[in-house]
Chain A
Amino acid sequence: MIRIIKTTLKLLFRNVGFWLCAICFPVLATVMLNIQTENQSYYYSYNVDMGVVELESKDEKVAYFASDSKCVVKVYDASQSKLCDHMLDKIARSGLFKVGRSKNGEMTQADADKKVLEDGQDDRMGAAVYIDRDFDKHIKKGEYDKALTVYVMSEDERVELLEEKLLYIMQKMHTAAAVSERTGKTTAELLLDMDEAAPRKTVRMLSGNDEKNLTKIQTDQKSNLGYAYVFMTLGYILTGVILASTIIKELSNDVIKRIRLAGTSEITYFGAKFVSGVVISLILSVVFSICTLFIDQDRIGVDRISLCVMTFLLGLIFCTFTLFSGVLVGNIMGATVTAFTVWCLSSMISGLYFPIGGTSRFIQSLSAIMPQKWFMDGTVMLFLRDKGAWTVILCVTVAYMVVFTGLGSVGLKLRNSDE
């Protein structure tokens, strides 16, 4: 067995493609891990009733805010006043709208007119609102048409409700401003009193919101880790194909028959190939771990050792799978195409590119068969310091290994008996 392992590894190490995969994919995975994404939108979409979301700049996109089907409102706030804060908060907590506000003290109406044309091309929202610099003064005078501008950016009927709501709040503020002169209370204090007098509302969303426990940073890190897993999986699959090619060649050259004549069983032979798969998974995981040393721990979200172990286990599953598919397909090209197809579909269905919470039940059931889905779940559990994370990951690994190793051995036996 050791001799077969040694020979296989020698063959692999002589292959330039193997080293290309062993270095390029961990490097690409690390690059993906290091990309700083501002994926606030995903985070926001999972959290009910968060109030106004502060955008980092006027260019930040709000399209993903719509993932729970609320009407998205992007606000360019040139006033930055307390009254404006109050108005936007009321809109955001009304139940129908999601509000993303970018504070731009220097922004003029003309700038807003220009910006919404860009947004109309590259972003998606129900409406945009520009709040004038002199918002408070206009409210006091009752000049509602000068206080703000609503840009209708969709055919969503709810924009009419937004206009009504905005007008209602401004009228209320105008009245409160007039009352404040008599009562000695400020307008903001009066508005607060009115809010406190209103019945307390609580909202419960039944079913869903399975990711609400993650913080915004963790959501971004999870998204990056998903892409890192995509590249590492591809690396494992391709190195697995190179490993499978040794079996395919040995099958066609009757090497296995000769090995059997020497008293070695198929199980031992496949076991040796499996151990070689373990070694190459380890090599890729170690290269990946070394690469991650060049980026901050904070960017990763989970500690490096856990990440290394997780990618190694993922590698074990996919290397074994590629071995198994290689044996069944019986030619290198077919094995490569099968591996690529499985990689493409499994990465997508398992939620490595985007959350799959909103997909149909069928796709969610299909997702449960994909190993990466469980590794992403394990990653989330690690984020949340859930002690059960490793149990899940190890159980999933063992289960897939048993299935793939078993099927691979049976496939090899069937092929041999056919020949």
Chain B
Amino acid sequence: MIFYMIKNNIKLMLRSPLTILIYVLGPTLVASILISAFNSFMKSYEGVDKFKAAYRLEEGCDFEKSIELIKENFEKNGITLLEYKEGDPEELIRKNDLAGFVDFSKDGYTVYEIKDSKLQGYILEYSLTQAFEEATDTAYLSALGTPLEGAGEESAKIHTEHPEFVPAIDSADYYGIIEIVYFASFSIVCGAAFLSQEKKNRIERRFMVSNISNTKIYLAKLLSVTGAVSVGLLLSVIILVAFSGVKWGDPVLSAVIILMLIFGTLAMELMVYSLTDSVAATVIITFTIIWLMGFFGGSFETYMFSSHSRLLKNLSPIYYANRSLVELSCMGHSDYIVRSLGISASMCVVFTALTVFIGKVRSEKA
């Protein structure tokens, strides 16, 4: 009987494919936006290749004497300095595909960096700063009769430690995973269509006169919605892996974590539905709860970077799922897997028991 009910629920859900489509397009679109938004911010530094920059010298400035030496040293470090006597720095940079521009004058020097090649710009600025600093320091100290002590000595060292740290994860991997978790947590929308149909046609009252238990009715809802949402999310995962290159650490373990989270949060959402007896109210209430869980659990702002208190993060079941999946992706293991599975399973058991109990009380009253 339960299989018949699951089949029937899935049929009803398929009648309004828009709801299942939400689970395919929703995470794909939201993740794509967030991946793009945080791409440069979360990108790890991978070094820069050789690049070209331009300079202009004001006649009579102090840099005239040292420019050839600077050019020679910079060339050794992969920076080619080209002279442009005239022209607007921004225009020159854009037209000649340069990484930056240096304007040497009698008052000092101005480094023009450009957003599109900022890493090269920083290297250019750093190299100039270091070159002039070393030259000035050496000259100043020599004038006082003392050479710069220890400069270039191999023996002089600083104390360096290499503690353990979570490797940086890029925006594609982070948001490609996290948004699947977020949408998995809000699966009631998928079942909203058949729940409202059931209510409209008073199906539940009819069920009461049959010999089907409340537990079976409940399980049919839980399993059918979980199945439909899982299919939608699987399609979204495939799209994100194919087009954004999202890397999942351990596909099987990751699938189990997400599946358990769907069970846990859906059980909570069905309990809210059994309490309110209104699909719209359930959607609004559970959406608010899930949004807050996601807000504190890293669905929008990464959980590593957000300044929310640890207590609020720990209260969000989404946080544990997010963290375990992200760590699986970037480290291959995570201490949060057991906690995530435990919390989801506990939610599922507790809320299922409550829903069945509420259903029983209701049917007895009726």
Chain A: CB-nearest residue to B151: A171
Question: How many B residues touch the partner, as a band?
Answer: 35 or more
Which of the residues B30, B115, B281 comes within 8 Å of A344, measured between beta carbons? B30
**Interface: B283 (CB within 8 A):** yes
**How near does chain B come to A156, taking the closest CB pair, in angstroms?**
5
- CB-CB under 8 A from B126, the residues of chain A are 94-96, 161
A194 touches B136 (CB 8 A): yes
- CB-CB under 8 A from B34, the residues of chain A are 348
**Interface: B2 (CB within 8 A):** no
Known: A149-B161, A150-B158. A158 touches B45 (CB 8 A): yes
Docked complex Cα distance between A206 and B45 (Å): 21
Question: Per-position contact with A for B292-327: 1 when CB-CB < 8 Å, else 0?
Answer: 000000001110110100000000000000000000
Docked complex Cα distance between A165 and B90 (Å): 30
**Interface: A197 (CB within 8 A):** yes
- CB-CB under 8 A from A198, the residues of chain B are 132-133, 136
**Interface: A82 (CB within 8 A):** no
Total contacting residues, chain A, CB less than 8 A: 100
Chain A: CB-nearest residue to B150: A171
B300 touches A354 (CB 8 A): yes
**How near does chain B come to A14, taking the closest CB pair, in angstroms?**
15
Question: Per-position contact with B for A139-157: 1 when CB-CB < 8 Å, else 0?
Answer: 0001011111111111111
Docked complex Cα distance between A394 and B192 (Å): 38
Docked complex Cα distance between A69 and B39 (Å): 11
- CB-CB under 8 A from A356, the residues of chain B are 37
A150 touches B163 (CB 8 A): no
B307 touches A39 (CB 8 A): yes
Question: Per-position contact with B for A94-131: 1 when CB-CB < 8 Å, else 0?
Answer: 11100000000000000001001101111110100000
Chain A contact residues: helix, strand, loop or mixed: helix
A358 touches B283 (CB 8 A): no
Docked complex Cα distance between A241 and B40 (Å): 38
Which of the residues A146, A170, A354 comes within 8 Å of B37, measured between beta carbons? A354
Known: A150-B158, A197-B136, A363-B36. A334 touches B125 (CB 8 A): no
Docked complex Cα distance between A42 and B101 (Å): 27
Docked complex Cα distance between A96 and B300 (Å): 29
A145 touches B161 (CB 8 A): no
B168 touches A124 (CB 8 A): yes
Which of the residues A70, A145, A206 comes within 8 Å of B112, measured between beta carbons? A206
A121 touches B166 (CB 8 A): yes
**Interface: B29 (CB within 8 A):** yes
B158 touches A163 (CB 8 A): yes
- CB-CB under 8 A from A182, the residues of chain B are 144
B196 touches A333 (CB 8 A): yes
**Interface: B18 (CB within 8 A):** yes
- CB-CB under 8 A from B158, the residues of chain A are 144-145, 147-150, 163, 166-167, 170
Question: Per-position contact with A for B153-188: 1 when CB-CB < 8 Å, else 0?
Answer: 000111111111111100000000000000000000
**Interface: B86 (CB within 8 A):** no
**Interface: A263 (CB within 8 A):** no
- CB-CB under 8 A from B19, the residues of chain A are 337
Docked complex Cα distance between A194 and B136 (Å): 7
B156 touches A144 (CB 8 A): yes
**Interface: A395 (CB within 8 A):** no
In the complex, identify which listed stretch (A58-66, A287-295, A400-408) lies at the interface while the others stay far away: A58-66
Which of the residues B16, B63, B130, B140 comes within 8 Å of A94, measured between beta carbons? B130
Chain A: CB-nearest residue to B310: A122
**How near does chain B come to A314, taking the closest CB pair, in angstroms?**
19
Which of the residues A69, A142, A144 comes within 8 Å of B43, measured between beta carbons? A69
Question: Per-position contact with B for A339-367: 1 when CB-CB < 8 Å, else 0?
Answer: 01100110011000110101110110000
**Interface: A179 (CB within 8 A):** yes
Question: Per-position contact with A for B22-58: 1 when CB-CB < 8 Å, else 0?
Answer: 1000100110011011111101110100000000000
**Interface: A336 (CB within 8 A):** yes
Chain A: CB-nearest residue to B146: A179
A205 touches B161 (CB 8 A): no
Known: A120-B166, A154-B165. A206 touches B113 (CB 8 A): yes
- CB-CB under 8 A from B161, the residues of chain A are 113, 116, 149-152
- CB-CB under 8 A from A340, the residues of chain B are 287
Chain A: CB-nearest residue to B46: A157
**How near does chain A come to B143, taking the closest CB pair, in angstroms?**
10
- CB-CB under 8 A from B90, the residues of chain A are 206
B62 touches A199 (CB 8 A): yes
Docked complex Cα distance between A50 and B348 (Å): 51
**Interface: B217 (CB within 8 A):** no
Chain B: CB-nearest residue to A245: B280
B301 touches A163 (CB 8 A): no
Docked complex Cα distance between A345 and B22 (Å): 12
- CB-CB under 8 A from A345, the residues of chain B are 29-30, 33
Please, could you name 28 A-B residue pairs with CB atoms under 8 Å apart, sorted by A?
A: A28-B288, A60-B307, A61-B307, A64-B305, A93-B129, A116-B163, A121-B166, A142-B149, A142-B156, A149-B158, A149-B159, A151-B161, A152-B162, A163-B158, A171-B148, A171-B149, A172-B137, A175-B150, A179-B144, A201-B108, A201-B111, A204-B113, A206-B89, A206-B115, A340-B287, A341-B22, A345-B29, A354-B38
17 extra interface residue pairs, beta carbon distance < 8 Å, beyond A60-B307, A154-B44 = A20-B284, A93-B129, A95-B125, A149-B159, A157-B47, A165-B130, A166-B158, A175-B148, A194-B140, A203-B110, A204-B111, A205-B114, A238-B284, A334-B18, A354-B38, A358-B41, A363-B37
4 smallest CB-CB distances across A and B, nearest first, come from: A200-B108, A120-B165, A95-B125, A63-B305
